[in-house]
Copies of this chain bind each other. A is one copy, B any other.
């Protein structure tokens, strides 16, 4: 129940981030909906393709599609207001990242995937949608620029994997791991943590 609520929150957050980026790229209303849907559903589709679940769960569950499309339309209609809520969008995006990375790991483990592979697939589930969004809109994917993004997702996936190895109950473990991802990501945004960039020895 708590997990379902979190998952819907994650879908809404990713749909909003995709729709907002599409509005900024001057796409029309259909383009905004397509990018919003792709961002929200993309990670889950990649996860199901890697796990061999056919057809992908997100394409079989119509409420997912309806929630994401409605979110994108709301963003399109009220985008100046949404843009002013930039902190809220980043927080929701962090929640989505945490929920999808940890729930993706749980889904992979439930499908009988070894722990090591499940963590990688969970991380991919979390960051996949945003990567597709940035490719569609011709931007270098945020995951490549904001280091804490991928590392936070991987940390959450590993926490779920450790909990699975210790035979802890999966529900509470997923909630704790997702919360940890959100906390790391929010701290990174707040403190502007940055990873080193390679020296440019040609510049001097």
Which residues of A pack against B, CB within 8 Å?
22-23, 25-32, 34-35, 45, 49-52, 54-56, 59-60, 62, 65, 76, 79-80, 108, 113-114, 116-117, 120-121, 131, 135-141, 143-145, 147, 150-151, 194-199, 201
Contact = CB atoms under 8 A, between A and B. Distances in A.
Contacts of A52: 52, 54-55
A54 B29 CA distance: 36
Contacts of A65: 120
Contact of A59 (B27, B79, B117, B143): B117
14 contacts: A26-B197, A28-B195, A30-B195, A31-B143, A34-B150, A50-B59, A51-B55, A55-B108, A59-B117, A59-B120, A60-B114, A135-B135, A136-B141, A138-B138
Given A34-B150, A59-B121, 7 more contacts: A26-B198, A29-B147, A31-B143, A50-B56, A59-B117, A60-B114, A135-B136
Nearest to A24: B198
Contact of A140 (B25, B32, B108, B131): B25
- 7 closest pairs, A vs B, by CB? A52-B54, A30-B147, A31-B144, A28-B195, A59-B117, A80-B201, A60-B117
A30 B117 CA distance: 20
A137 B145 CA distance: 11
Contact of A35 (B26, B27, B114, B144): B144
A131 to B, nearest CB: 8
Nearest to A28: B195
B62 A116 contact: yes
Given A135-B135, A136-B140, A145 B55 contact: no
Contacts of A22: 144
Nearest to A30: B147
